[in-house]
Structure 1
Amino acid sequence: MKGKTTQPIRHRRDGLSARYVRLREQERDQEFAEWYWSGYDQDDYDGYDDFDDWDQDNMALIGEHFALVRATFYPNQPLRALRRFLSEPLPSAEPMLPENLASDELIQRLAAYLSRLVDTPSDSQLTEEIRAALGDEEARQVIAQHLPKSAEAICLFAPFWCRSPLTWSPDSGVSLQEHLFATYPVPAFLIEALNNPIRFPDYKWLCWFILLGRSASLKAAGRVFGWDIPGKFAHFLQQVPARTPIEDVLLTGEMLSCPFSPKQACLYAEVLRLGGTETDYQRLARDGSYCLDPTDLSVAEDDFRFWEGAVCWLIRHREELSDTDAGRVLAWARHCHTEFLAGHEAAFRWVGRSVAATVERARIYHDQQHARWHRWHYYAWSAHGWDSAGASGWSITELTNSNQLIDEGAAMQHCVWSYGWRCQAESSAIFSVCYKDQRRVTVEVNPKTGELVQAHGLANRDPDTEELQIVAIWLQALVLPSLRPTAG
């Protein structure tokens, strides 16, 4: 065109235009993401189904974490993101963690490293340290072959290996995770935990493995990491058996066994520490609402004290209770506690309760549940227009008559069936939170203020982080705006 000069296309030294390189790198980024996610079962990764709902800080951290994984575990992936993580040349391999490292020093090192890994995964020095500890590609291949579900996390903690994966043999009689991290015996449930996926940023059980495998004090570590580790807890943790018996109700009714999860193992150890036996553990484990991690400081104080009181009461009256009576008492007590938290009843206290009176009160509650079809009136009420369903698979639906409440209560094993009169009186609104048509949480909302009154899963268990997040987003996006007065 007249009056304009044509500028030559600038090429890189390798002969590729900048635009071509940019587009090709974007394509490779997408290919890597698809390949990375394809290696997981969807059930293993439910926690990250709703990335769109995370706040920007969390999203940024997750992105940095994935880039760190790519830079360390998949160093041959030609990704644009690696440029800000790596400097050349790569450092040479460093020696393994010294076997004579003092317990206190190991705790401080691990705590500082975990803080860097979770809070600043984009630190280029951290990337180089991990790659230096990993060594050559063959080490990564050994871990990926024998620990496919947890390989990335185990490689991220390569600076805490005490042996190389290249010196391990499948015929040695020692698991690969023990070979890498442990010089002392480690509880069997932790070995199993490292066979399963380990998701950023929840590295608690991997840290436990490292600490116990080097004979470090879990109680001392708890003060640094923020775990609630009571005295002698670690001693009883070592007594947890490798597998837990479960009743195969759906098939034969016989007792089978499966590996303890870390939460189950902590529950078992705390029951033993408080003077209980396997019988007491089994009675608690049959009711999902009592299966909590007693070392988790995020458990609300009221919930933990109620739980601890239940454990001590069961232990104290073990011989006077049948399994049926114990189950009914636990269900009734949980109902009373959740009603207290919702502001509907007085606080429940375990202290001073005799066995006879408690069992009788629990029996009445149990009979009321079974007779609900005949004992409760039929109610119906208008919906508030707060139902929600998205492409992510989550849905939130208001229950608008007694039959729906009865179905919800039967499916979720709690007392929401008795809330019909409250809903009709406009003092409560009940919603069923489902994921892919499966009930996950029942929610009570104050219809006048939009306040979340209570939320409970199966058998009155507390909602997990993802479920609470879904409910919070729904309240903020749909419920609360509809109750705000409109201008003019």
Structure 2
Amino acid sequence: METSHIHKKHKSKSRRLKEKLEAKAKEVAIQKSLKAHNKAKKLLFPKMVETIYEGKKQLHFEFNTLAYTLDDLFRSLNKKRQSRRRTAFKEILDHLYKQRCTKLLRNHEYLHAIYNIVWFCSSYVRDIKTWKRNSHNPDKQLKDLARHCFAKYDVPAFMFEAWSDSNRKYMMWFIDLGCGLSVKNLSKVPVRLTKKGAHYFLQAPANYTIEMALRRAQALAFGTDEIVADRIACSALSRNNFANEGFWETVIQFFMRQSMLDFNKMGEIIDYLTFSIQQDREYTIKGRTITSLTRQSDEWHVAQAIHEVNTRELYTWEPSISSSLIAKTKEKTNVKRYRLFELCSSKELIAEGRKMNHCVASYARSCCVKVTSIFTLRCASFLKTEETLATIEVDLRSKTIVQAKARYNKPISAVAKKIMKDWATHHDLNIGKWL
């Protein structure tokens, strides 16, 4: 009996030792596999760039993947005619990888911005290989990269937007300003800028688009104050591609002369004047008063609201911001539920315009091409049916709330304003000074 017990004990000890050795061997194998995986992962991006750059065989990548975007960008650079840009693009990608700018290289929009920088590689003022990462933030990395490549002198913060734009004229402005050229000598500036206007252009806020900076400078040079200039900068005039510029110059001067200008009406009047100049190229505001323009604008907006369904094309579009917000408040026995969300079709805008008695339906095309987004703030309670408290316009390029209107274009309530501000903070949106 005792011998059998000793034998069993020895066998159990042997089994535990064997299991321990097997577990250790398994762990070593896992560590080896993990090391091999990490090594392959480290080599993956440079190898992918090298393969796409060489382009020796026809490659097919899944749509909207990183490889697909890189392949598309390299293909747009001809091997013979644009060999210098192709090589420069590969060099900058390799260098950014070595600098561990992984977030920058994984983002499709940033890759397009890097491509834009490379397009002007012949204008580099410093060797790309001397650039070093000094931030973990990819947005800051991109700005620092553009500064390193092109700027001997300070360039206004808002000008860095040029590299994320498709307008190469703005990129050339960035390069010229970085080399010390004055604003007055920039090519193809769409507005007339005096020496004073050129100074104001360089002083525009960092969150402005280039178009907004031009409008603000133009207005300030005419002698208006900053409040009016900022309202003009954030109006539709910064989103009209500077069409009919001679006419709009007279409009800005007209607004400047008004001592008692209702800012809530300015946007409506601009919408009305946009329609008027499109219908009649000879249209002028000469001899008109703010009273007559306001009356004509009001009449036009009413007519637009009545005929909107029959006269407008119908559009639908994808949401621009992850925007939904739900909040609750309780007053005694009445619970209120607030919803703030984006309107994503012409039909929704038409319904909103009818309910609120304003012309928000006219923004459908701008929403469709992602220039503007329209949001609605609604409140439901036990005592009342759902009520719309505000219609909110966001300029997507500057990420700024430029309008917030209650019914009949009246200012929004204090409660609606607080909810809007909380939502803006959560989504990193700016709010116009005048709201």
> Which has the larger Rg?
2
Q: Between Structure 1 and Structure 2, which shows a larger proportion of helix residues? A: 2
Q: TM-score, normalised by structure 2?
A: 0.49
Q: TM-score, normalised by structure 1?
A: 0.44
Greater relative contact order (Cα < 8 A, sep 6+): 1
